[in-house]
A and B are shown apart, each in its own frame.
Chain A
Amino acid sequence: MPARSLRLKPQARGRDTRSAYLLLLPVLAFFLIFQYYPILKSVAISFFEYGLLRRQTPWIGLENYARQFQDPLFLSALGNTLVFVAAAVVVGVALALGGAVLVEKTGRWAKLYRTLYFIPVVTSMLATSMIFRWLYASNGLLNFVLTVVGLEPQAWLLSEALALPSLIALTIWKYLGFDLILFAAALQAIPSDYYEASSLDGASPWQDFRYITLPQLRPIVLLVCITAVIRSFQVFTIVLAMTQGGPINASRTIVYHIYEQGIQYDEMGYASAAAVILLIIVAVMTYGQMRLGRDDG
């Protein structure tokens, strides 16, 4: 929506322009230096064989990009990241939505539940990874619970099949409360006469959810999905602190790949190509979701 300006006398207009640019100067300088310059430079060096210690290097065209798709490290990172994002977003958003509907049914207890579910959100990611390493340990609490109900203990982070799902579960735990709070606020905004009218028509709770709640929540579901996708693509801390991409690259992610190649091996050009690929995927996914959100409305 376009901003309305102060209705001013014509000669005040010039003064308006001058003070606007003057006041924006620090902000513009900041965005040019610390946002646009590094972003554009990343794109630029992705076409060079570039490193911090070897900056005068030849243009190699798309070679950094071609190499990614022959590099098993990148390919496993890409595959794992896509699985991670899909599972964390779909399961996470569904649980948060279901949780919010239940929480808002509890009346005066809702506040307590919202608070409890939000605690993991403020718990820092690194502390969370340390806590979950202990939960997932061979003699940890999770295996203890499994044996109590008669199941086999698992190797979790040390298992190729379970390492990535273990990280996904942690991520859902961490962000559930955040998404739930947003859904809960949107639920409170739905006028209660909608439900009163539907209960007069004898609608079931499921019909209420399907035909009133869900359509009303559409914009917020879209918003939560978009932020969850962007956030999930950036998964890094838990990989570094819990698995370092292992076992055998089973939990390697794109950002971990960028960090390892760029910072640890000084392959900045190569790592930047991976970063640009990440940017393209995130942009396409965001755009796609916005289109989806608009179209079948």
Chain B
Amino acid sequence: MNRYASISSRALVHAVLILGAVVMVGPLVWMVLTSLKTPADAEAFFDTPRRLGAVLQSLLPDPLTWDNYRDVFAERPMHLYYLNSAIYTVFRMLPGLFFCSLAGFVFAKLKFPGRDWIFGAIIVTMMIPFQIKMLTLYEMMVDFGWVDTYWAVVVVGLMEPFGIFLFRQTILSIPDDLLEAARIDGAGTVRVYFSVILPLIRPALAAYSIFLFMWAWSDFLWPLIVLNTEALKPIEVGILSFSDINNPEYVKMMAASTVAVAPIILFFLVMQRQFIRGVTMTGLKG
């Protein structure tokens, strides 16, 4: 391949990728721009003359207004939605990390009758879509009296089979000699877990927390079913009330979506290296 062909093919690659990036990020930019417009301004965009200058000008809000955000916060308890999302995420994440890594350790490094059977029985549930058990789980929540409580969201989402699988795979690669050395020094199984295993699996813990964070923050179907009180809803369910099918108010919908996704997108941009490493690590193992 000659030099010019290679330069032009590289330009082509970039052209395709830049077009792709516009498609990927464009809708979010459009969301933010719309959220800052008046309803009339947003609706008028379609009637803009099809000239580059005019289009660029009418993409931008004119006049720029914060009214949509004010309305969104005034109509719904957005601050409580946020708080609930944070509570659900943290209280599912911390016990999840502990129990899954502990179970991963037991399955990877202890020998006991029935081990492979029990592990298989846990892992197989990874393939079963949540919707299979959602109705009977809801019935269980009714019987427990957990409908419309924090318990229903936190407890049911406590442990993911995937986490146990991930930690088992990670801990398998830790040499037995390290554990044996600790045991000879008199450490019991629990001590070995805390003082030898935990420090060594820090990258896996970080990767799994990021995975859980993405999962828990945008969990929708289950909280939608078990929560009715506004004050208990996470943000993902809370903003559903702005998504009226028959009478959409797009400027408000865009303000509500911006409020809902801004924290997680910002968090991603700050921690992008950890996010992407976390996904590849968890994804390739799973």
Question: B253 near A: Cβ within 8 Å?
Answer: yes
Total contacting residues, chain B, CB less than 8 A:
102
Tell me if B243 and A125 are in contact (CB < 8 A): no
Q: Which of A21, A28, A134 has the most CB of B within 10 A?
A: A134
Tell me if B140 and A38 are in contact (CB < 8 A): yes
B7-50 interface code vs A (CB 8 A; 1 in, 0 out):
00010011011001101110110110010000000010110101
Main secondary structure of the interface of A (DSSP, over half): helix
Tell me if A131 and B30 are in contact (CB < 8 A): yes
> Which chain B residues in 33-75 approach chain A with CB under 8 Å?
34, 43, 45-46, 48, 50
* A134 partner residues in chain B, CB cutoff 8 A: 30-31, 34, 248, 250, 253-254
Knowing A103-B17, A230-B127, the reply to whether A271 touches B135 (Cβ < 8 A) is yes
Please measure, in the bound complex, the distance between the C-alpha atom of A106 and the C-alpha atom of B48, giving whole angstroms: 37
A124-165 interface code vs B (CB 8 A; 1 in, 0 out):
111101111111010111011001100000000000000000
Please measure, in the bound complex, the distance between the C-alpha atom of A206 and the C-alpha atom of B253, giving whole angstroms: 45
> Which chain A residues in 236-280 approach chain B with CB under 8 Å?
236-237, 241, 243-244, 255, 258-259, 262-263, 268, 271-272, 275-276, 278-279
Knowing A16-B112, A28-B118, the reply to whether A52 touches B139 (Cβ < 8 A) is yes
* A105 partner residues in chain B, CB cutoff 8 A: 10, 13
Tell me if B190 and A109 are in contact (CB < 8 A): no
Taking a contact as CB atoms closer than 8 A, the residue among A35, A119, A131 that contacts B125 in the complex is: A35
Question: A92 near B: Cβ within 8 Å?
Answer: no
Please measure, in the bound complex, the distance between the C-alpha atom of A15 and the C-alpha atom of B286, giving whole angstroms: 31
Tell me, rounded to whole Å, the shortest Cβ–Cβ distance linking A140 to chain B: 7
Knowing A19-B190, A223-B286, the reply to whether A42 touches B24 (Cβ < 8 A) is no
* B100 partner residues in chain A, CB cutoff 8 A: 27
* A2 partner residues in chain B, CB cutoff 8 A: 116
Nearest A residue to B192, CB-CB: A6
Tell me if A144 and B159 are in contact (CB < 8 A): no
Tell me, rounded to whole Å, the shortest Cβ–Cβ distance linking B194 to chain A: 12
Tell me if B236 and A119 are in contact (CB < 8 A): no
Contacts between chains A and B (CB distance < 8 A), count: 294
Knowing A23-B106, A123-B265, the reply to whether A177 touches B24 (Cβ < 8 A) is yes
Tell me if B276 and A279 are in contact (CB < 8 A): no
Tell me, rounded to whole Å, the shortest Cβ–Cβ distance linking B243 to chain A: 5
Tell me if A278 and B25 are in contact (CB < 8 A): no
Tell me, rounded to whole Å, the shortest Cβ–Cβ distance linking A152 to chain B: 14
A38-68 interface code vs B (CB 8 A; 1 in, 0 out):
1101100100000010000000000000000
* A126 partner residues in chain B, CB cutoff 8 A: 218, 220, 236-237, 239-240, 243, 257, 260
Q: Write the residues of chain B forming the contact surface with A, with a CB cutoff of 8 angstroms.
A: 10, 13-14, 16-17, 20-21, 23-25, 27-28, 30-31, 34, 43, 45-46, 48, 50, 99-100, 102-103, 106-113, 115-116, 118, 121-122, 125, 127-140, 142, 155-156, 158-159, 161, 164, 168, 172, 176, 179-180, 183, 188-190, 214, 217-218, 220-221, 225, 236-237, 239-240, 242-243, 245, 248, 250, 253-254, 256-257, 260-261, 264-265, 267-269, 272, 275-276, 279-280, 283-284, 286
- Give me the 5 closest cross-chain CB pairs, A-B, nearest first: A5-B111, A38-B133, A139-B46, A127-B257, A124-B218
Q: Write the residues of chain A forming the contact surface with B, with a CB cutoff of 8 angstroms.
A: 1-8, 13, 16-17, 19-21, 23-24, 26-28, 30-31, 34-39, 41-42, 45, 52, 99, 102-103, 105-106, 109, 113-127, 129-135, 137, 139-141, 143-144, 147-148, 173, 176-178, 181-182, 184-186, 220, 223, 227, 230, 233-234, 236-237, 241, 243-244, 255, 258-259, 262-263, 268, 271-272, 275-276, 278-279, 282-283, 286
